[in-house]
Amino acid sequence: MNLIDNPVTSKEVQWSPLLDWRLAHPILIPHGSKLFALSRSPSVFLGADFMPWFFSFDLDKTAGCRSLPPPPFFPCRLNPLEYRDPPEVRVAAYALVGSHILLSVQQDRGTCAFDVDARKWEMVDGRNLPFAGQAVPLGGHRFVACSRASGGAAAVYRIEVFPAGQGTTKPTGRTELSISIIELPVESKGIVPGQLLCAMGIGRFSSFDIRSVDPGPEAKLDKARIVHRSYSLVVIRLSW
């Protein structure tokens, strides 16, 4: 039996059995009392990572999952010819900013946002997110992630989502969401991102790197070495 610990209520909730076979390596995004699970590599064939590709799981209830609409990048509308050679879609970058999940795929198709309250997706930028993998929150709209422009080096970004009424007004008069992503200058002794970044509270995060003790074609995970590093954000105030 798989259990999920809810740190808010200090209770354990049983993991939905649907996710055990539907999503092979899901992206898990907690928000409030809900846990969102998204397929990392959606498939159009029956089996693992087959539709539906997006769920929400309420930690305050024992009921099952709720199926949610997939991102607009996912192959949910294919004609018979496209089914013969379906596109390979894989999530490249994502971040939870306020009540919106930002997401880009490996193909250069831009960035979309999911409103967790309205439960709908919307395109917010024609460019992909400038980082790879998850952007880990540091507090105050600041996030740390692996920069694509710097070959995977860690970088700090200021990310904001502007809701309807504060975004960009289109020629049609309809106001849509917009995002602002600014890379912030950082002075450090060096950040080694690792394969996984984890938030550890405001201004703190950790990186985990899994390395094989015996590298080679027959290397096994049971002989792996885990390198764990912790970092803290220090703000330097200058007086003139």
The model's pLDDT over 147-198, given as tens digits with 9 standing for 90+, comes to 999 888 888 999 999 876 554 444 434 447 899 999 988 776 667 766 778 8
Other C-beta atoms lying within 10 Å of the C-beta of residue 113: 25
Long-range contacts of 26-32 (CB under 8 A, 24+ apart): 27/91, 27/94, 27/134, 29/94, 29/96, 29/101, 31/96, 31/99, 31/116
Looking at residue 216, its pLDDT comes to 61
Question: Does a structural domain hold residue 150?
Answer: no
The strands making up 100-105's β-sheet, listed across from edge to edge, are: 120-125, 111-115, 100-105, 91-97, 131-139, 142-147, 154-162, 178-184
Q: Convert the pLDDT of each residue in 12-25 to its tens digit.
A: 666 555 555 577 78
- Answer whether residue 124 is part of any domain: no
Residue 154 and residue 207: Cα distance in Å, rounded? 10
Asked whether residue 68 is domain-assigned, the answer is yes
Helix or strand or coil: residue 217?
coil
Q: How many domains does the chain have?
A: 1
Indicate the range of 79-83, 91-95, 232-236 predicted with least confidence: 232-236
Q: Residue 182 falls within a domain, yes or no? A: no
Let me know: does 174 contact 156? Beta carbons within 8 Å: no
**Taking phi first (over 0 means left), then psi (-120 to 50 degrees means alpha), and beta for anything else, what does residue 110 get?**
left
37 inside domain: yes
Indicate the DSSP class of residue 15: P
At position 62, the amino acid (one-letter code) is T
Q: Determine the pLDDT at residue 110.
A: 95
CB-based contact 204:231 (threshold 8 Å): yes
Is residue 187 situated within a structural domain?
no
pLDDT value of position 171: 41
Domain span including residue 15: 1-89
Model confidence pLDDT, tens digit, residues 191-239: 776 677 888 878 888 888 877 666 666 655 566 778 888 888 776 665 5
Residue 205, in any domain of the structure: no
d(CA 213, CA 228): 15
Query: What residues contact residue 235 under an 8 Å CB cut-off, 6+ apart?
Result: none
